[in-house]
Structure 1
Amino acid sequence: MKLNKYTWIFVGLIAAVYLGTLLWVRLTNPVYLQQNMYRTWEKSYVMHPRADQSFVNTSTNNNHQKPVALSESQGYGMWITIMAAKKGWASRQDFDRFVNYWLAHRDYVGDQHQTPTYLMSWRQYYNRHHQWVADVNSATDGDVYIDMALAQAARQWPSKADYYRSLAKKLSSDILAYEYNPQTRALTVGDWVTKDSPYWRLMRTSDVMPFVFKTLAETTGDSRWQTVNNAMLDRLVDLSRQHQTGLVSDFAWITRNSAKPVKPKTISTKQDGSYDFNACRVPMMMAVSDDPRAQKVLRKMLRFFSHQQYVTAGYSLSGKRLVKYQSASFSAPIFFAVSHHRGEGFDNLFDSQKYIFSRPLTRKNYYDATLTVIAALEGLN
């Protein structure tokens, strides 16, 4: 009996050492971690309806029998593929499959939806007749992500730069034609929002992307992107100033000179006026901008998070936790941001939010997985 007891203790110690070694390799070898996470994400979420097309599946629990594609996920897929290509893990053909799917699922505008655009239909799925259908209307965040990826592709693959740049200009032109409010000088949340819509002055805070706007201004030569950048950043600063935490709401009502959080259930959920699953991306969107306004908004947020015992999945704007659990959708953008601001007083967040890499990438939650992969590819360098 003693032999059996000691044998099991020995086996347990060996197993513990083995698992500890695997965890150590995972956390101390960023290249291994990045490649492993990218490969897992690509294998788990990227689907190929045709040999020359790809989209990212966003369905609940990643159901491959009932997949759902979103313009948001298409943009993220293209962005991640560019990042992977820079490391030699993805090819131009991989990227082009995402481009082809986007081009095959563009939105139409007009009273009868008769005018084609380069905006992407915001959602595609199988209907009850098992037909792959596309919903009308667009979502601005997805279109801007796609546009950014095209601009980056022009730099990544010079031999096709003219092609990608041409597409970027066409998409950019349609964003500014159909997803832009000239009164507020800000982007709307989609092409379905017109001047007669009650949502004409609605801004999604995660649509404020200063680095992206700067890139699009340079790529397209259209100075209106700088106008958009100035207007939307100013409104984000307005929101940041309203609470000591620096937290901003998912959505806000804006004018040319002011901004205020919306009330619950204004457009989507009871947390529309809270720091929730849209606003959680704001730290990531501010992180690499050299605009002082973006850095001011970011640092105020990070200061709040750095004083939390742990970061949870959602907050009221005064800093009250909405839930008790953590979520990679919130932690990944914070890690991304802090990784670009080491040594500035927020390194405790770099350590605490690194927990998202200590466990296998989820295969059941597109949003968690995608933001984690972006944080890994951009934040673990």
Structure 2
Amino acid sequence: MRIRIFTAALVAAAATLVSCSSEPDLAFSGSPTELPHAAIRPSASQDERDQALVDFYQAWKDEYVHDDCGDGAFQIYSPDAAYPFVSEAQGYGLTIAAMMSKADPDAKGLFDGLLTYVLDHPSTRTPDLMAAEQDSKCNDKAGGDSATDGDMDIAYGLLLADSLWGSDGDFDYRDLAGKRINAVKAKTVNTSSDLMLLGDWDTAMDAGLYATTRTSDWMPYYFGVFEAATGDDGWSTIADAHQQAVADLQNSDTGLLPDFARTTDDGIQAVSGKVLETANDGDYSFNACRVPWRLGTDALLTGAESSTTAARTIDAWFRATTDGDPGKVGSGYRLDGTAEDADPANAFWAPLAVSAMTDPDGQEWLDALWRKLAENDVERGNYYGDTIQLQVMILLAGRYLTV
């Protein structure tokens, strides 16, 4: 995801939302998904967690699901991004629709509408990847090339769809997933470091950016899933490289990682100043805030030691520095823990609930985070934080689906 902007003008320019107000109350069927390596879980009952999740999901659909581009397509609207439609948002939407299908009878229709939009906007460089950004008229912008994180989530969403609904209908989800996974590996992995690139536009012709990687694209759980789906053991090499990079880059006291890092002859280090988005590119800012969620997911589902250690380090620091009060989590930090913005934002505090589940000593902290999640409302124009929060709530409610 590229630079986020927060302007009243973009929010006011929102097109008509797909109204979900007429939907019946949603309820989950079936047992929750086991998180086999969770050390603790929220103390709230399963019914309480499910209800909070479906309430937030319904409000999220009302606010962010659009049908502005014709062709039977849906889009996840991102007013706080550089453009109103971005591949990151569509990847999030696909995974959310699949995971909420156990509660929402309209989820498959939402999924297929989002997929229609994704397929209508291929990257100009790599047809099996998605163009990263579209304007309010649904036209590709910024060269029509890809952003790595969006395609990784799209690929996982397609694997979920195949598992849920099979691939004999209007879309061959399995085939589409395989092609996207292979394209991600071929076009968005640095062949020297085995770390994720920023997108398919990031080539060795620009040595500085080619050596640059975004830590929020480090999704170790997906690496293992992609290997299992394709039989390509190169994903193990990629996973190992990212595990080592986390260990080398993570601040030993705070556990914080920067938004962007760069590999050099001396190893990997945080970038300095603006490299792609803002002057905070080398800090724990609006990209790296997703790291506790991404690494925490891998820890909860696989028990990987590297992800578990990294997630617990971040969790312990935030719990200590806030005295266990999620309301004291700011929205930007230097890697040494110096706060840059004390204002709370759910993009920052919500992911900590995932890392908190890895820590057996953090029950009160986890429960405080869950209460804040359950009490927080969807906020108009806050696509990024609200969509992260929804995915965190899916995990905490035990409704995350695996393949």
Instruction: State the TM-score, normalizing by the size of structure 2.
Output: 0.79
Q: 1:182 aligns with which of 181, 185, 191?
A: 191
| Alignment of 1:380 onto 2:397 | yes
Aligned residues: 341
Within the alignment, does 1:335 sit opposite 2:344 as a pair? no
Residues 38 and 330 of structure 1, relative CA distance in 2, 3 Å threshold: same
Equivalent residue runs for 1:66-145 within 5 Å: 68-109=84-125, 116-126=126-136, 132-135=139-142, 136-145=144-153
CA distance in 2 between counterparts of 1:256 and 1:182 reads 15
AA aligned to 2:139 is W
Residues 263, 369 of structure 1: alpha-carbon distance in 2 compared, 3 angstrom cutoff: same
Of 287, 305, 314, the match for 2:332: 314
CA displacement, residues 250-274 of structure 1 (integer Å, 9 cap, x when unaligned): 1001258821000011221111111
User: For 2:364 and 2:268, how far apart are their aligned partners in 1?
Assistant: 32
How far apart are residue 67 of structure 1 and its match? 7.0
| Per-residue Cα deviation, 1:204-247 (whole angstroms, up to 9, x for no partner) | 1111111111111111222122211111121111111x431111
Q: Identify which of 34, 37, 54 aligns with 1:35.
A: 54
Q: Which residue matches 2:5?
A: none
Is 1:253 the equivalent of 2:267? no
Q: CA deviation at 1:133?
A: 3.7
The one of 173, 193, 200 equivalent to 2:202 is: 193
Query: Per-residue CA shift, 1:335-372, capped at 9, x if unaligned?
Result: 1332x436x11223313323132132212210111011
SS at match of 2:135: strand
Deviation of residue 28 (structure 1)? 7.5
> % of aligned pairs identical?
28
Higher-RCO chain (CA-CA 8 Å, sequence separation at least 6)? 2
**In structure 2, what is the Cα distance between the partners aligned to 1:254 and 1:268?**
18
Give the TM-score taking structure 1 as reference length.
0.84
* Amino acid aligned to 1:39: Q
Find the residue that maps to 1:108 and give its secondary structure: coil
Q: Is the 8 A contact 2:167 2:173 kept in 1?
A: no
For 1:291, the equivalent position in structure 2 comes to 304
For 2:311 and 2:362, locate their aligned partners in 1 and report how far apart those are by CA, in whole Å: 11
Distance in 2 of aligned mates of 1:168 and 1:149: 8
Unaligned runs of at least 5 residues, structure 1? 1-24, 110-115
Counterpart residue identity of residue 157, structure 2? A
Residue 274 of structure 1 is matched in structure 2 by: 283
- Pair 1:46–1:268, CA change in 2 (3 A): same
1:324 aligns with 2:333: no
The superposition leaves residues 36-93 of structure 1 with CA deviations (integer Å, 9 ceiling, x where unpaired) of 1111111110111226211111014x9xxx9711010010011111111133454322
Helix, strand or coil for the counterpart of 1:360? Answer: coil
What is the rounded CA distance, in whole Å, between the counterparts of 1:271 and 1:251 in structure 2?
Answer: 9
Larger Rg: 1
Instruction: Assess if the C-alpha contact under 8 Å between 1:53 and 1:101 holds in 2.
Output: yes
8 Å Cα contact 1:151/1:216 also seen in 2 = no
Query: Residue 11 of structure 1 corresponds to which residue in structure 2?
Result: none
Q: What's 1:19 paired with? A: none
Aligned mates of 1:125, 1:104 — CA distance in 2: 14
Q: Which aligned pairs between 1:31-70 and structure 2 lie closer than 5 A? A: 31-48=50-67, 49-50=69-70, 52-60=72-80, 68-70=84-86
Offset of residue 160 of structure 1: 4.1
Task: Assess if the C-alpha contact under 8 Å between 1:214 and 1:226 holds in 2.
Answer: yes
Separation in 1 of the partners of 2:210 and 2:378?
Answer: 38
**1:110-168: per-residue Cα shift (whole Å, max 9, x none)?**
xxxxxx51111110013xxx573444221101111111111122212235499211101
Root-mean-square deviation (Å): 2.4
Relative to 1, partners in 2 of residues 1:166 and 1:284: Cα closer, same or farther, differing over 3 Å? same
Give the structure 2 partner of residue 360 of structure 1: 377
User: Partner of 1:254: helix, strand, or coil?
Assistant: strand
8 Å contact from structure 2 (residues 121, 140) kept in 1: no
Give the whole-Å Cα distance in 2 for the aligned partners of 1:257 and 1:292: 25
What displacement does 1:323 show?
A: 1.1
Answer whether contact 2:297 2:354 (CA < 8 A) is retained.
Answer: no
Tell me, yes or no, if the aligned pair for 2:311 and 2:358 is still in contact at 8 Å.
Answer: no
How far residue 184 of structure 1 moved from its aligned partner, in angstroms, is: 0.7
Q: Contact conserved, 1:235 with 1:254, CA < 8 A, in 2?
A: no
The answer to whether residue 318 in structure 2 is matched with residue 301 in structure 1 is: no
Q: Could you say which structure has the higher strand fraction?
A: 1
> Distance in 2 between the 1:165 and 1:256 partners?
40
1:5-20, aligned counterparts within 5 Å?
Answer: none
1: CA distance between counterparts of 2:105 and 2:265? 44
Match of 2:244 among 217, 229, 234: 234
2:163 is the alignment partner of 1:155: yes
Q: Gaps spanning 5+ residues in structure 2: where? A: 1-43, 323-327, 399-403
Q: For residue 333 of structure 1, what is the amino acid of its counterpart?
A: P
Distance 1:315 1:28, change over 3 A: farther
1:3 alignment partner in structure 2: none
